């Protein structure tokens, strides 16, 4: 898979799930995007933009990617209440097993060159694996597709998990392409819509969107670290096995 998101790493702990504090700085990137953050600092030759007053929740860039940093006023409050998942009026379908969901996500990831753990992290944040999930805003299914978006993606039934995952993965892939593989911006657009990201030239100052972006990347990081740890354990176990001898 092509290397994505090497310029962005949010090491979010449980604090990322709490409401972010008001931002205090406006950072303009050389690509034209703007990121609002609480404060910034240089660490190990990189620039960290902290999304809250603590040190655990940040986005990291190379110094040459930063064009300007300025103080900014408090952002406006989010325009709407965060949508919450509620039961669908459609007949309940059988809940997917972890193996079936992984198989669907792996197929979609291969089709769109997306890490399966990233897709799993989006599904967890969007629906927690509930194929019949419906938000108050009307988003449907595993990856919470709005009806208009689903129609544009060729998804005929958002409650069919394979269709929903294919459509959601295609949409995320398109957003990553649109925002030059900037994962934070793509996730913000997935949550709040591309128009909001374009309007603010960065992650919109919506409480819901900021929490969503941090939550997904936190889960993605957790899964990747667990995967790497498992791989290291497998190598260690293999190395510890006695070599077979021919007699």
Lowest mean pLDDT among 10-24, 111-125, 127-141, 180-194: 10-24
Of residues 60, 126, 152, 243, which has the active-site annotation? 126
Higher pLDDT, residue 235 or 74? 235
Tell me: the pLDDT tens digits for 168-202? 999 999 999 999 999 999 999 999 999 999 999 99
Say if CB 178 and CB 194 are below 8 A apart.
yes
**pLDDT for the residue numbered 241:** 80
Assess whether 126 carries a catalytic annotation.
yes
The distance in angstroms from the start CA to the end CA of the chain is 44
Q: For a pLDDT cut of 90, what percent of the chain falls above it?
A: 52
Q: What residues contact residue 233 under an 8 Å CB cut-off, 6+ apart?
A: none
Which of the four pLDDT bands, split at 50, 70 and 90, describes residue 3?
very low
Is the pLDDT at 73 greater than 70? The verdict is: no
Report if pTM > 0.95.
no
Domains of the chain in sequence order: 14-72+179-238 (2.30.30.100), 93-177 (1.10.530.10)
Overall average pLDDT of the 132-141 stretch:
92
Overall average pLDDT of the 69-75 stretch:
62
Phi-psi region of 91 (alpha: psi -120 to 50; beta: other; left: phi over 0): beta
């Amino acid at each position: 898979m092509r290397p994505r998101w090497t310029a962005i790493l949010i090491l979010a702990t449980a604090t990322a799930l709490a409401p972010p504090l008001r931002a205090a700085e406006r950072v303009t990137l050389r690509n034209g995007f703007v990121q609002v953050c609480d404060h910034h600092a240089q660490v190990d030759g990189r620039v960290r933009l902290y999304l809250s007053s603590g040190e655990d929740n940040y986005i990291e860039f190379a110094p040459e990617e930063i064009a300007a940093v300025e103080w900014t006023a408090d952002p406006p409050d989010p325009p709407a209440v965060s949508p919450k998942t509620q039961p669908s009026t459609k007949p309940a379908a059988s809940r997917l097993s972890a193996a079936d969901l992984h198989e669907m996500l792996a197929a979609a990831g291969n089709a769109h060159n997306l890490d399966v753990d990233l897709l799993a992290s989006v599904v967890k944040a969007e629906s927690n694996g509930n194929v019949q999930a419906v938000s108050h805003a009307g988003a449907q299914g595993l990856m919470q597709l709005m009806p208009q978006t689903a129609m544009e993606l060729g998804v005929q039934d958002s409650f069919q998990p394979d269709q929903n995952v294919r459509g959601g993965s295609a949409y995320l892939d398109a957003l990553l392409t649109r925002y030059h593989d900037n994962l934070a911006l793509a996730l913000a657009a997935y949550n709040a819509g591309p128009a909001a990201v374009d309007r603010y030239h960065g992650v919109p100052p919506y409480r819901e969107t900021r929490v969503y972006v941090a939550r997904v990347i936190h889960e993605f990081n957790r899964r990747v670290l667990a995967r790497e740890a498992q791989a290291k354990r497998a190598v260690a176990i293999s190395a510890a096995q006695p070599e077979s001898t021919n007699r």
